[in-house]
Amino acid sequence: MLYSEKVMDHFQHPRNVGKMDDADGIGEVGNAVCGDIMKMYIKVRDGIIVDVKFNTFGCGSAIATSSMATEMIKGKSIEEALELSNKAVVEALDGLPAHKLHCSVLAEEAVKAAVKDYYDKHGIAYDAEKFCNGDCACCHAHDAPEDGGKEQ
């Protein structure tokens, strides 16, 4: 069988689907190669994610990983949600085919994007590197010489 029972269950009966009009944080991510788009909404009270919803346009794996990710962060602290990895999502779903692993990466990125939006909206300071996927300026800023490349 190509997909685990858990993947099929989360695809056919996704949890926490929908839009949240009063979300404290919204994250939207996409993959240009496959066309999948995930939008995640979080509601936060006293540092705890009390509600989470998602809308995903994509394949069954994208829907299943979105659904599982919401289940994994609901009721958790913001800090715990930030530690959610695509590997943990895949393990919770009892695996994904190799060519669908990018869906789990999108789910992780959607959670991080929603948390980052929450931090930005509420003026909460954060370490930008926690939100970096490796291809942005925030990760490379620390690679530059401290003197800005100018010899003294």
Q: Which residues are known to be catalytic?
A: 34, 103
For 38-77, the three-class secondary structure string (H helix, E strand, C coil) is EEEEEEEECCEEEEEEEEEECCHHHHHHHHHHHHHHCCCE
In the chain, the amino acid numbered 41 is Y
Widest CA span in the chain? 64
Alpha carbon distance 112, 40 (integer Å): 9
Sign of the C-alpha dihedral, residues 38, 69, 135, 48?
positive
